[in-house]
Structure 1
């Protein structure tokens, strides 16, 4: 699942991890991203020390055998972790899906946690690029989900997704026990307080707030990118 930041990507990972037939992994390219960019996210040094930061080795692992006895491997990816110049041919071996969020809500959320807000930080340019690469290679539009649709009807949208990727739907995808999960990256202590308190998908609530003029300008650039994928999404 390819997501941008400030989305329900961890809740989606928990949804799949709660299945009995699924192994889930949390942002396996994060250490490489941090090592290459030098971005000082909370606990960055600890993440780089703990996880593989050689992207080629990570890709070999991600395209190998599914760990354990699972028949499904849910890989939670951030689109911006695919840095310029990185090979993307390995995506052909995955069932690629894309998770969207309204860029206004993304920008409002980003503005609360960082002063470095840009079109790039929304993840949308990278997400559109990856979607187009996957569509060109496969000859079909990959499954695209919007977080609002999921929150408004988790069962309906997840059933659609399961049908689209050829797996059975499980009611276990709709709820889980509160608290950390074994699939969490070690960065969860910095980012996952909200999802750790959850036991399922929260009802959709619009994010309130006003954008600065600078962020409104970014929204003008982001909206066409979002809409180009949103119109292709899975919907009831």
Structure 2
């Protein structure tokens, strides 16, 4: 039976570069933020690039697309829980038929990174709260704590983290999937401007040391308030990182 792996993330969590590993594997059909197409359109204020009008734009349509893909291949999809939070919270059947894994990044860093791309992002789009809500739903559904990856651990020691994830998913670790050509995979084209660093990478790397993001937040009261709101949800999930 084919697997479906759902990587649930918040924006700027390094989820895209983790997705790239699954693209390079070659044994998964990979969907990049499919539920974003129910949350946004080409006319939305959020920055987008080459909009793909062939994709479904309803929760039911997107879910059916993923389920149908699973009939022919292993499926990996990554998305932001806030894109489809209300529907996903009550769709236990969909959550039950996949491996639900979560990735988190310290909110000061993710918020500053988010602000650089989309300065007008609303509070809920920071994403940690929605991610935590689905984390709790999956915990109750399965009776066990879901698999959580800290993005800083991934960047610092990618092979160790990916090997552990493969063990958890009961799939083979494929060394060739840890490196790739510097290019934009077709899945990313709608949101290309969000993934410049990932597109220009050839592996998962630890970024150069930058000024402390918590200090940078002090320059922006709005961002500081966002950080204060979301950091509790990050801290709760971080207790369970693998």
TM-score range, shorter chain: 0.7 to 0.9
Q: CA deviation at 1:45?
A: 9.1
Please give the alpha-carbon distance, in whole angstroms, between the structure 2 residues aligned to 1:57 and 1:7: 26
Task: Give CA-to-partner distance per residue, 1:138-193, whole Å, 9 cap, x none.
Answer: 111111001100010001011111111211211123111111224x2431443332
How many residues get paired? 229
Cα 1:54–1:118 shift into 2, 3 Å: closer
Please give the alpha-carbon distance, in whole angstroms, between the structure 2 residues aligned to 1:188 and 1:75: 15
Corresponding position of 2:125: 121
Task: Give CA-to-partner distance per residue, 1:88-134, whole Å, 9 cap, x none.
Answer: 22111110000101000011112223333444121011000001101
Task: Give CA-to-partner distance per residue, 1:3-46, whole Å, 9 cap, x none.
Answer: 110121211111011113222111111111115x9732234793
- Richer in helix (by share): 2
Q: CA deviation at 1:233?
A: 0.8
Compute the TM-score of the two structures, normalised by the length of structure 1: 0.87
Matched, 1:42 2:47: yes
Matched, 1:74 2:76: yes
Matched, 1:213 2:215: no
Map 1:89-108; keep pairs closer than 5 Å.
89=92, 90-108=94-112
Please give the alpha-carbon distance, in whole angstroms, between the structure 2 residues aligned to 1:114 and 1:181: 22
Please give the alpha-carbon distance, in whole angstroms, between the structure 2 residues aligned to 1:7 and 1:51: 24
Equivalent pair of 1:131/1:142 in contact (CA under 8 Å):
yes
Give the SS at the match of 1:84.
Answer: helix
Corresponding position of 2:236: 228
Give the SS at the match of 1:77.
Answer: strand
Compute the TM-score of the two structures, normalised by the length of structure 2: 0.85
Q: 2:35 aligns with which of 29, 36, 40?
A: 29
| Residue range with higher mean Cα deviation, 203-212 or 135-144 | 203-212
| Residue range with higher mean Cα deviation, 79-88 or 119-128 | 79-88
Structure 1 unaligned blocks of 5 or more: none
Cα 1:189–1:67 shift into 2, 3 Å: farther
Cα 1:45–1:25 shift into 2, 3 Å: closer
Equivalent pair of 2:132/2:233 in contact (CA under 8 Å):
yes
| Residue range with higher mean Cα deviation, 38-47 or 161-170 | 38-47
Corresponding position of 2:139: 135
Please give the alpha-carbon distance, in whole angstroms, between the structure 1 residues aligned to 2:238 and 2:123: 17
Give the superposed CA RMSD. 2.3
Please give the alpha-carbon distance, in whole angstroms, between the structure 2 residues aligned to 1:125 and 1:170: 33
